[in-house]
Homo-oligomer: A and B are copies of this chain.
Amino acid sequence: MSSSQPSSSDSAFGSNTVSSALTPAFSPLYQQIKGLILQSLQAGEWRPGELIPSEMELAARFKVSQGTVRKAIDELAAENLVMRRQGKGTFVATHSAQQVQYRFLKLHPDVGDLEGEGRAQRTILECKRLRAPAEIARLLALRSGDTVVQVRRVLAFSGIPTILEDIWLPGQAFKGLTAEQMASYKGPTYAMFEGDFGVRMVRADEKLRAVLPDPAQAELLNVSPQTPLLSVERLAYTYNDIPMELRRGIYRTDTHHYKNALS
């Protein structure tokens, strides 16, 4: 990398240097490095929870300075894709890690600080394969007609059924998923997805609404049909913004609330 400056690269990167006039498409070196690391994460070169090479090693591999690798990793860490630990190294982020378990679950009990009671009790009501309905297929970026796995379950806190949700997953990536597996896995469902299917959810979008349950939903949650519930539609993505899970849940909010930090 000689004593180089941003624009040009003399190592084996996708050249965006003398790009055609139409695409300025210049990205700084550290962004290119970030992209390369991202590719390795995506390709499974290092699995969730594993140690990735040290900054020095990566700097040598990519023929850039340690500072440049550092800045790339800084961004990956900010996006929760990796986790740094001083003195030990940098690890691929995982939903199994104690500190970020249930990172996507924003429902908190009104009283009682942490989710005591040993977490939620899961009841799997259904787990089946079917051809994706048009809307599900669209959201998951599948061809209509592709098969999906649908799971319906209830989550209870302290014995009180609180969340009823349907989960849709692309059939191809989740071959062999069973109700048994969904029910018996210890720890977050997303951790099971990582361990058993190599699928890591890195971010998600949620749409919230207030709704009334239909009679079936009301019964499953043991509430009257006049009880307002929080409807949460979540679309979760793996690396590279590929949608890999759709959830539609309804939450009881009489003893819990959805907590959000704006900044």
Kindly report which residue of chain B lies nearest to residue A201, judged by CB atoms. B262
Check A79 against B263 for contact (C-beta < 8 Å): yes
Pick from B206, B228, B259: contact of A229, CB under 8 Å: B228
Whether, in the assembled complex, A21 has its beta carbon less than 8 Å from a beta carbon of chain B, the answer is no
Give a binary string over A225-239; 1 marks a CB under 8 Å from any B CB, 0 the rest.
Answer: 010111100100000
User: Chain B contacts of A253 at CB under 8 A?
Assistant: 208-211
Nearest CB of chain B from residue A105's CB, rounded to whole Å: 9
B208 with A230: CB separation less than 8 A? yes
Contact of A205 among B203, B234, B261 (CB under 8 A): B261
Within 8 A of B (CB), among A238-263: 251, 253, 257-263
- Chain B, residue nearest A232 (CB): B260
Contacts of A263 in B (CB 8 A): 79-80, 202-204
A interface, by DSSP: helix, strand, loop or mixed? strand
**Hey, which chain B residues are within 8 Å of A208, CB to CB?**
208, 230, 253, 257-260
What are the residues of chain B within 8 A of A79 when measuring CB–CB?
263
Chain B residues contacting A258 (CB-CB under 8 Å) are 207-209
Name the B residues within 8 Å of A210 (CB-CB): 210-211, 228-231, 251, 253
Contact of A103 with B by CB under 8 A:
yes
- Chain B residues near A206 (CB, 8 Å)? 259-262
Interface flags for A68-83 (1: CB within 8 Å of B; 0: not) read: 0000000000111000
Residues of chain A touching chain B, judged by Cβ–Cβ distance below 8 Å, are 78-80, 103-104, 106, 202-212, 226, 228-231, 234, 251, 253, 257-263
